[in-house]
Copies of this chain bind each other. A is one copy, B any other.
Amino acid sequence: MLEFEILKKHRYSDARLGRITTSHGAIETPAFMPVGTQGTVKAMTPEDLIASGSEIILGNTYHLYLRPGHELIKSLGGLHRFMNWPRPILTDSGGFQVFSLNALARVTEEGVKFKSHLDGSMHFFSPERAMAVQQALGSDIMMTLDEPAPHDADHATALKSMNLSTRWARRCRAVHSPGDQALFGIVQGGMFEDLRTQHVQEIGDFGFEGYAIGGLSVGEEKATLLRIARHTAPLLPAERPRYLMGVGTPGDLLALSSMGIDMFDCVMPSRNARNGSLFTSEGKVNIRNARFRDDPQPLDVHCPCPVCRNYSRAYLRHLFLADEILGLHLNTLHNITFYQHWMANIRQAIREDKPFDFIGVESFRLEKDGG
């Protein structure tokens, strides 16, 4: 079960304020989904995630399939119960990790054969298998299995992957039984506008509950990502949620929201946090920096998170340099809260028909880092 309402359109952009309703609760859009790779958003409890303002998280099917195994998770009541996360979960199909963690993954019409990065054992994902695994996990939103083309794929290669992705999307749709779990399709077509247009035409009438733009943030220039997103977003069914996978910086989320994208996921806030790279309304800072040595100030006076209310930059720097687990936790809590606060500002600007000019926007609009 998945419902999507558009509550308001933005006066100053193509952004939409919306609400997705699932059987595990509602999600205000545009929404950012923290990534919970192995059945946990790294260094966060579910309570932390709720406090951060997160309403939905992403689970990685590839990782959970390999360890602890989807059947095990199913036998323990599904992923929500396993990880004690009561709110919505979106699972990817596993395809992206199959390809990105397996240089030698072998694709046939039937599916993709790959080696476990954990123990080298051989595995096979077909569209049907990817669906079955996600059904066992019990996510609220499942994704179709697709074959993303490399960012530098030529037109013929991108076309071939796209056509395979269409056939796989049809097979996923065929085995999808309507029920609690919604299914989103993924638009491919590489960095080529004509292919993106063609792919939307091919899968747009498969009746997916939502549509994702895939195959971006895979190594291309930031300008290319924005060009393809800007081209593709308005082609997607307007009455369905639009999801851009694997992006990005706060500036990216703002730019892409303004194009009418409703959902995002990215490891950036959590991974950066564990490297000491923290988001603030004045841009990214590295907490290792010697200038923070005796700095009693909070990381970001505009941030509502408990880290910025209770700890100094000097303390965060100390924890990081001393390799303390608490440092990884506090950094992650801050970054994810920063992202969610940023999304809340985007939603508020849409609701109140204000331009996207809130605190910190200049710092991130200029950012080059898309990784």
| Chain A residues in the interface with B (C-beta under 8 A) | 38-40, 42-46, 67-68, 72, 75-77, 82-84, 293-294, 296, 310-312, 314-315, 317-319, 321-322, 324-326, 328-330
Contacts and interface: CB of A to CB of B under 8 A. Distances in A.
Nearest to A325: B43
B314 A72 contact: yes
Given A68-B314, A75-B294, A293-B72, A325 B325 contact: yes
A45 B82 contact: no
Contacts of A319: 38-40
A76 B325 CA distance: 22
B84 A311 contact: yes
A317 to B, nearest CB: 8
Contacts of A310: 46, 84
A72 B318 CA distance: 11
B326 A44 contact: yes
Contacts of A314: 68, 72, 76, 82
A84 B316 CA distance: 12
A221 B312 CA distance: 44
A219 B76 CA distance: 43
A96 to B, nearest CB: 19
Copies per complex of this chain: 2
A280 B319 CA distance: 30
A38 B322 contact: yes
A45 B329 contact: yes
A325 B329 contact: yes
Contact of A322 (B67, B312, B322): B67
Contact of A39 (B77, B296, B318): B318
A45 B306 CA distance: 11
Contacts of A317: 68
A83 to B, nearest CB: 7
Contacts of A42: 324-326
Contacts of A328: 325
Given A67-B322, A325-B329, A326-B44, A315 B72 contact: no
A42 B328 CA distance: 11
Contacts of A75: 294
B40 A324 contact: yes
A42 to B, nearest CB: 6
17 contacts: A38-B324, A39-B318, A39-B324, A40-B324, A40-B326, A42-B324, A43-B326, A44-B326, A45-B330, A46-B310, A68-B318, A72-B294, A72-B314, A76-B296, A77-B296, A82-B312, A82-B318
